[in-house]
Structure formats: structure tokens, C-alpha cells
Amino acid sequence: MPSSESLRLVVVQEDGSPSESGVVVPSVGLEVLTSTASLYRRVGYVPPWIGYLAVRGTEAVGGCAFTAPPAANRVEIAYFTFPPHEGRGFATAMARALVEVARRADQDVLVTAHTLPQGSASTRILRNLHFECIGPIEHPEDGTVWEWHLRRDG
């Protein structure tokens, strides 16, 4: 099993391209880059509250992002591991890295996440990273989801 410790975040630039040349992006990753550029057009490109590719060596293994810059002192994280890299610790490493980016930028921002309202790999990741499930909410695009908050001692 590869080490997620060698994972690094590569900025997805405003035009949707990786900030580093030579990154090998699978076809599903190309869709993520396009979606990230679209997200920037809706919510703005405000580093560090942006999208990133998770890269190991030269290969993109996933993508992660802040869904928008902080509002009301809250910021939401999202992460996605590309097949066939699931189950190797990359999603945990991405979520942890986003929390670190948020803490470096603003110690007081509340880091949140949303999951489907059922137990899953993502719910285990969030619990392991000291997030608490606040409960179900109605998301305007996704319907009923569970909202998670990073504990202040997390």
C-alpha cells in the first residue's frame, strides 16, 4: 500500500489547470479540473480557499477543495479519491491537508463537511479527524446530508 505521507497538494489554477507541469491527470481528474474552474466562476478564486489536486509522485490520485471562501467564519471541505486509488489513505490525507491549510490561514474558522446521511468511508475519515456529526440538514443541491464540524480541540 502506498504511503499517503508522500502526497502533496497542487493548486488548481483559476483556468482549471494544475499549477505544476508534468502532473499526470486521469480522465476523471480532467472532469474535476473543469468543475473546479466552474466553481471559481461562481464563488471566486480566493487562495488558499481553492481547489487542489492530490498528487503522489507525478500522478494525481484525487482532488480536494474548499467549496467557497469562508463565510460567517465557516468553510466547507470536500475531497474525492480517483479510482483505482480508493482505500489507500489518500482521502484522509486530503482532508487532513485541507484542515491544515484552513488552520494556517485562519485559526478561528470553523471547518465543516457534508456527507450522505449514512455510514461510509467519508464518515469514518471525518470521525478519525475529530469532526462531529451535527445532524441532518437540507442542502439546496444535494438534499438531506449530514453536516460535520471539526471540533475546536481537533
pLDDT tens for each residue of 103-135: 999 999 999 999 999 999 999 999 999 999 999
- In this structure, CATH architecture of domain 4-150: 3-Layer(aba) Sandwich (3.40)
Q: pLDDT category, 141, cuts 50, 70, 90?
A: confident
d(CA 51, CA 79): 9
Mean pLDDT of 76-102: 96
d(CA 90, CA 2): 9
Identify whether the C-beta of residue 146 lies closer than 8 Å to the C-beta of residue 117.
yes
- To the nearest whole percent, how much of the chain has pLDDT over 70? 95
**Residue 30 confidence (pLDDT) above 80:** yes
The per-residue pLDDT for 1 is: 39
Domain boundary assignment for the chain? 4-150
